[in-house]
Amino acid sequence: MICAGLSLGIASAAYAGHAQARGRAADAAPVAHKLSLRSAAAIIQDQETGEILYGKNASTVAPIASITKLMTAMVVLDAGLDLQETITISGEDMDSLRGTHSRLKPGASLSRDELLRVALMASENRAAAALGRTYPGGFEALVRAMNHKARMLGMNDSHFGDATGLSSANVSSAEDLAKLVRAAHRYELIRSYTTLTEHEVHVAGRSLAYRNTNRLVANGSWNIGLSKTGFTNDAGRCLVLQAKLAERRVIIVLLDSWGKLSRIGDANRIRAWLEANARPQIGAVHKSAQKSRKPAPA
Catalytic residue ranges: 66, 69, 123
Buried b or exposed e, range 137-158, using 16+ CB within 10 angstroms: eeeeebbebbbebbeebebebb
Q: Whole-angstrom Cα distance, residue 213 to residue 217? A: 9
Q: Does residue 67 contact residue 230 with C-beta atoms inside 8 Å?
A: yes
One-letter amino acid of 174: A
Q: Answer yes or no: are the C-beta atoms of 157 and 236 closer than 8 Å.
A: no
Bridge partners (DSSP) listed for residue 56: 42
Interatomic CA distance for residues 249 and 267, integer angstroms = 14
Work out the burial of residue 119: count CB atoms within 10 Å of its CB; fewer than 13 is exposed, 13-18 middle, 19 or more buried.
buried
